Amino acid sequence: MTESRVPRRRRFVVCEPRHFAVQYAINPWMSTGRPVDVIRALDQWQALVDTYRAHGHTVDTVAPVPGLPDMVFAANCAVVVGGRVFGSLFHAPERRPESVPFEAWFKTEGFEVHHPESVCEGEGDLVPAGRWILAGTGFRTTRDAHREVQEFFGVPVISLTLVDPYFYHLDTALFVLDDGTDAEAPGAGGGNIAYYPGAFSPGSREVLERLYPDAVLATREDALAFGLNSVSDGRHVYIAPAARGLAEQLDGRGYVPVPVDLSEFHKAGGGIKCCTQEIRETRS
């Protein structure tokens, strides 16, 4: 079964955690009294970059800016679909300046960037999934932003309500395993996903059950280990080592778990996906 999973080369954007710290608390994971080991964070981040490149993926970097400790969480800066960039307007005032260097980088690379009118935190809450975009709300990104994203990309946006503050972004509770472009991928048009049902409202759980009847369901234990803050290339799943049960499920479905330890970033409520922005040049 493993051989049927086909990886696709991806282009990722990351930001070195040179200035990473927990200087404020804007989610339940953050505590200003909990010290951060910056050297360990740098080593873990570099291991992630090296792992992506070892699997054939392209990795670009945005220079970190002093005073912006969360810039390492590049996923929050934008969402890119079909070569078009929808930027971010962060909920927390402390993070709003991060949009400037990321948008400048995209423009330098030749992309046209749309700056949102409503609070929107990029791939933190916007997860492209083949024919549609799954969109989280409840803690950060607003429903007005969901409508704005749909108008900008011309892609159906499916709103999902998050109800557990430990899963304040959609990318902490759900990730795409494959987007449906592989003919052998299961699912209803949007490929397949893994998610933790308890992170969502009852109606949103029902939506996910209808769209993804074959989804991989994670336990709360694996979700709290940042197992769902993962990145998949269609075959390899870059996953937190502590999410052992989820990794076993993925292996049983023919995916190849690739453990990468980003535990130092858990102190700020982030993990592998939070540190990884994907540039999608073409629309699925």
Catalytic-labelled residue, pool 15, 77, 120, 274: 274
Instruction: Choose among 2, 31, 36: nearest CA to 236.
Output: 2
Token digits of residue 51: 């792992």
Residue 208 in tokens: 């996910």
Model confidence, pTM: 0.95
Helix (H, G, I), strand (E, B) or coil at 174: strand
* Distance (Å, whole) CA 140 – CA 129: 20
Thinking of the domain 2-279, which architecture would CATH place it in?
Answer: 5-stranded Propeller (3.75)
What pLDDT does residue 190 have? 53
Asked if 55 is an active-site residue, the reply is: no
CA distance 276 to 229: 10
Confidence of residue 183 (pLDDT cuts 50, 70, 90): very low
Give the H or E element holding residue 192. Answer: strand 192-195
Instruction: Note the pLDDT of residue 4.
Output: 78
b/e map of 231-256 (b: 16 or more CB within 10 Å)?
bbbbbbbbbbbbbbebbebbeebebb
User: What confidence tens digit (pLDDT) does each residue in 117-157 have?
Assistant: 999 999 999 999 999 999 999 999 999 999 999 999 999 99
User: Domain coordinates of the chain in residue numbers?
Assistant: 2-279
The pLDDT of residue 181: 64
- Identify whether 274 is a catalytic site residue: yes
| One-letter amino acid for residue 152 of the chain | F
Residue of 169, 236, 266, 275 marked active site: 169
Reading the block at residue 6, the tokens are 């086909």
